Amino acid sequence: MPAGYEYDLDHRVIDAAAWDHVTLDDLEHYLEEASLLPNDLRGAVEYLDLSEVLSLQVSYVGALQLAPWYERLIDRGIKGSVIYAPEEEIHELASTVIATCSLVGGGAPEGYRLSRTPVALRNVHHFLEQGCESSDLQAAQVA
């Protein structure tokens, strides 16, 4: 499966990455496993690195299917999600997933934030707390 994660206790970050050709099934499998982490996730943030993704095969309907998995993470106490997606097409698809999850589930408590540059794990919480940049907000609204 071209997606994996680990929970960084020191920084309270679910450090996830996907690579190669990623399907809806791959993302659902990752989110299912992450939602079952035995750790206390209150105050944690998800950091999803999509920099090595060649294609992301998620449609709007597929994004609807991901929303309940994000709701499970939110129920476990995560604050939000930072998604690193430097490539334009992947960035746009991530925006669609964010907009859909926000619309369907009400979104993460502190929201979602897209980035075109990598974020160090020690800075993920700060980056999320800064809020959406206007270009990221516009991209999410267009999607």
**CATH (residue range 3-142):** 3.30.750
Question: What pTM, to 2 d.p., does this model score?
Answer: 0.86
Q: How would residue 134 be classed by pLDDT, with cut points 50, 70 and 90?
A: very low
CB 140 within 8 A of CB 98: yes
Q: Where are the chain's structural domains?
A: 3-142
Asked if residues 19 and 52 have their Cβ atoms less than 8 Å apart, the reply is yes
Q: What is the pLDDT of residues 58-80, one digit of tens each?
A: 888 888 898 888 888 889 999 99
